[in-house]
Amino acid sequence: MIQMTLIQIDNYGPWTVTPTPRRESDLQILQAELYADLQRQFAAKQGLVFFMRFDNMLAISNGMDMEDHLRIQESIGNRYPITVSMGVGTARTPYDAQRKATKALQSHGGAQSEDRKEVLAIDSLADENGFVQIAHIDINGITETLTDTMPAYDTSFVVNRVQHFLMKKLIKKGSLLFFIGGDNFMSPCNGLAPEGLLKIINEKDEIKIALKAGIGKASTAEKAANLADLALEEIRGGFTYDLVHLMKE
Ligand SMILES: Nc1nc2c(ncn2[C@@H]2O[C@H](COP(=O)(O)OP(=O)(O)OP(=O)(O)O)[C@@H](O)[C@H]2O)c(=O)[nH]1
């Protein structure tokens, strides 16, 4: 089972415009600092946070219990002008785990409900048999073919199109897809066989972009992500001609 945690800023919309619309650069600084802060605290427990929409972030939290989540929630409440609520869920696939985490939190009230503040809604926690499978997907040679030859915004548009293509294909398999910077994506993909990811990557005619992917499988997000990176490096280094390469703990 994979464990996913939804982190949602409480009543954020109204806060951003009270008493008047807050300076956008200040909101961007708050969101970026909150993301980095959460990343640092989840990473301390070998978790991994994806910024998603910033007011709603998803983390892989295998190995983290109620106390771990409460400590993070309290620390944010002590140091920020806003508070966060969290939902936690586990399932065979990442999509279902985040669906359960979301439903658990939604059962405590709406995101902009004034009564809902610093809720921790745990549907379920992964046990010691839980595991994480993450694919690190990368566009081939983006530096030479796009970054160094096209206007920066045009390259960003291509990366965005690849992201949409991958999200559309992977959600059908119960897998999630997050942009993590540059030309890189990470897909929590418990339950997806490497052959299934290879099939998706080979459907690149829809986007006319060559992709490769390292997959890692381990007890925590940090270990799985690192194995995925190592598998990707093995592809880059020519140690394998596979376009999708799996490494296990
Ligand atoms: N978050 C994150 N970003 C990365 C990682 N590796 C590379 N990047 C980013 O991706 C950009 C492109 O790096 P590469 O993917 O190595 O460059 P490339 O031209 O695609 O080369 P190949 O991937 O070897 O084909 C870099 O400028 C970084 O911004 C990673 O592991 N994590």
According to the model, what pLDDT value does residue 132 have?
Answer: 98
Q: Decide if 33 contacts 209 (C-beta within 8 A).
A: no
According to the model, what pLDDT value does residue 207 have?
Answer: 76
Residue nearest to atom 9 of ligand 1 (CA): 182
* C-alpha span between 77 and 96 (Å, rounded): 28
**CB under 6 Å to ligand 1: residues?**
138-143, 180-184, 229, 236
Mutate to test the pocket of ligand 1, among 35, 39, 51, 142 (most ligand atoms within 8 A of CB): 142
pLDDT of 28-83, one tens digit each?
999 999 999 999 999 999 999 999 999 999 999 999 999 999 999 999 999 999 99
pLDDT of 16-28, one tens digit each?
999 999 999 999 9
Give residue 180 CA to ligand 1 midpoint distance, Å.
10
Nearest to 12 by CA among 115, 114, 112, 109: 112
* C-alpha span between 134 and 235 (Å, rounded): 16
Q: Decide if 7 contacts 56 (C-beta within 8 A).
A: yes
What is the pTM assigned to this prediction?
0.94
- Extract the tokens encoding 20: 């008047």
pLDDT of 136-178, one tens digit each?
999 998 888 899 999 999 999 999 999 999 999 999 999 999 9
Give residue 183 CA to ligand 1 midpoint distance, Å.
6
ipTM over 0.90: no
Mutate to test the pocket of ligand 1, among 39, 138, 201, 222 (most ligand atoms within 8 A of CB): 138
According to the model, what pLDDT value does residue 51 have?
Answer: 98
pLDDT of 5-19, one tens digit each?
999 999 999 999 999
Across the range 194-214, mean pLDDT stands at: 88
pLDDT of 101-117, one tens digit each?
999 999 999 999 988 99
According to the model, what pLDDT value does residue 208 have?
Answer: 81
* Ligand 1 atom closest to residue 144's alpha carbon, by position in its atom list: 19
DSSP-assigned letters across all residues of 73-120: HHHHHHHSSS-EEEEEEEESSHHHHHHHHHHHHHTT--TT-TT--S-E
Residue nearest to atom 21 of ligand 1 (CA): 141
Residue nearest to atom 3 of ligand 1 (CA): 181
| Domain architecture of the chain: domains with CATH | 2-122 (3.30.70.1230), 132-248 (3.30.70.270)
Q: Is 140 left (phi over 0), alpha (psi -120 to 50) or beta?
A: beta
Q: Which helix (H) or strand (E) holds 34?
A: helix 24-43
Residue nearest to atom 12 of ligand 1 (CA): 182
